[in-house]
Amino acid sequence: MQKSGQIVSADETAAARPRGRPRAFDREAALAKATRLFWLKGYEATSIADLTEAMGIGSPSLYAAFDSKEALYLEALRYYADHYSELVWGRYDAAATARQAVECLLLDSAAALTNTCDGNPPGCMVTLSSVDGEGHAELDARMRRARAAMLDRLEARLDQAVAEGELPASTDVQALARFVQTVQSGMSILARDGAGRGELEAVAGIAMLGWDAHTRDGGGI
Amino acid sequence: MQKSGQIVSADETAAARPRGRPRAFDREAALAKATRLFWLKGYEATSIADLTEAMGIGSPSLYAAFDSKEALYLEALRYYADHYSELVWGRYDAAATARQAVECLLLDSAAALTNTCDGNPPGCMVTLSSVDGEGHAELDARMRRARAAMLDRLEARLDQAVAEGELPASTDVQALARFVQTVQSGMSILARDGAGRGELEAVAGIAMLGWDAHTRDGGGI
DNA sequence: CTATTTATGTATCAACCGATACAGAAAGAT
DNA sequence: ATCTTTCTGTATCGGTTGATACATAAATAG
């Protein structure tokens, strides 16, 4: 890990170094704390006082480093995607077949959504985000787009599987993708209510039985 | 022992009528408005000003009719359960088999969660309630208990099906019940994101394929 | 009628919200 | 060392939150 965001290359540091007093706190570490707080309590319920206390800084420092509460939340979302989406989507991207990809997605979700040992809140920050529409329409639209992106990702992989012949042409790609998204979203709610990894893995197993039955022949409908 | 004659119990109406000025607004109608507002925006994001405006009353009247914002929310929860749970659980209770019960639950959920034509917000009020833990621990515990009650209801029906021989003794009742709860919970999130009834019904169909595969023989695991 | 009891509207409470003004402190540039 | 630039801590801004005090209006009981 790097210290306080200082860059390694020497020439760039000398050129880009600002003239005045450097920041006294680790911006990345503070962002990590803010991310966990937003992740745990949501946008509205997390106050500036909560954030400054968890980050160990005063409010002017917060507004100097990040522009506003909303901008900080957007950065927290990026931090979350950069640090945690790999746990869920890593094996999905590397899988050889769509079935393996989805199975990895659900199993890895079961593990990641319940991984509270290192201080992470249970459930997915994006799925559980309940930013109310009124007054924060921009954030709400951003969250909806993030959730829609997951559905697009699933549909793209399923379309590829149909094109490659892994899945029959009669597969209802949209319905199957939405089914996977439904299970993954529901797992976040169960995780927040205290369900453990093994319990969610069992849910994933039954979901994969639905996948198999649906993709076996004409969709089963 | 009462004298024969007046069965209507006119004494109760006369005796129970309060002496002073009667309430000028319909308490039940105001509770319905408050319920929809809480359902749409959640507990924290709904302010007293929002409530009084929607109900068409002033804040003193609100605090006279209901004790506090928290008490009003609890009454809204009861109103929600009394008026909307029948749409989802009605055919579940009347179904002859556990499979029919679960299928009815998921299909009726697909219809109810997307029924926004008469002003109802999409999704389930209980599932989507994201009352933050800190500061409102009592409400949070209540919501968790409500969600746990759904799981108990599913497990009880599955246990009965195993006892009656509908399902094989090797059925993993807890996992199957959690699977159904996961799908139903996930459907609320998709409904809030704009998914329609047909799309959720297709999800329910694939989920029932998972049910069939799991209950066919030894659980399939 | 008068007396009593309750609800309503206005106006406001203390506490907290997100966001800043200000002055002093700290560190590189020269 | 001095200057310049930036950050930090205190203290506070206007606005909103949930919740009330108060006086008034309204409706029943007698």
The pLDDT confidence band at residue B97, using thresholds 50, 70 and 90, is very high
- Of A42, A144, A195, Cβ closest to residue B130: A42
Contact assessment for residue A187 and residue B182, using Cβ atoms and an 8 Å cutoff:
yes
Q: Which DSSP state fits A22?
A: P
List the A47 CA – C15 C1' distance (angstroms): 14
Give the three-class secondary structure for A134: coil
**What is the distance in angstroms between the Cα of B67 and the nearest Cα belonging to chain A?**
23
Nearest to B125 by CA among B108, B140, B113: B113
- Per-range mean pLDDT, top range of A38-47, A155-164, A211-220: A155-164
Whether residue B48 is predicted with pLDDT greater than 90 in this model: the reply is yes
The pLDDT confidence band at residue B53, using thresholds 50, 70 and 90, is very high
- Looking at the complex, does the CB of residue A220 fall below 8 Å from at least one CB of chain B? yes
Determine the pLDDT at residue B131. 54
**Chosen from A41, A46, A206 to mutate, greatest number of chain B CBs within 10 A:** A206
Q: Pick A51 or A131 by higher pLDDT.
A: A51
Whether residue B66 is predicted with pLDDT greater than 70 in this model: the reply is yes
Determine the pLDDT at residue B216. 87
CA B95 to chain centre: 19
- Of B176, B183, B202, Cβ closest to residue A186: B183
What percent of chain A has a predicted confidence (pLDDT) above 70?
88
Q: Pick A32 or B16 by higher pLDDT.
A: A32
The pLDDT confidence band at residue B20, using thresholds 50, 70 and 90, is confident
Whether residue B190 is predicted with pLDDT greater than 60 in this model: the reply is yes
Q: Work out the mean pLDDT of chain B and round it to a whole number.
A: 90
Whether residue B183 is predicted with pLDDT greater than 80 in this model: the reply is yes
Contact residues, A window 88-127, toward B, CB-based 8 Å cutoff:
127
Using a CB-CB distance cutoff of 8 angstroms, which residues of chain A are in contact with residue B211?
A: 206, 210
Determine the pLDDT at residue A17. 74
Whether residue A35 is predicted with pLDDT greater than 90 in this model: the reply is yes
CA A164 to chain centre: 29
- Helix extents (H) in chain A: 10-16, 27-41, 48-55, 59-65, 69-94, 98-113, 125-128, 137-164, 173-192, 197-216
| pTM metric for this prediction | 0.91
The pLDDT confidence band at residue B134, using thresholds 50, 70 and 90, is low
The pLDDT confidence band at residue A4, using thresholds 50, 70 and 90, is very low
Using a CB-CB distance cutoff of 8 angstroms, which residues of chain B are in contact with residue A137?
A: none
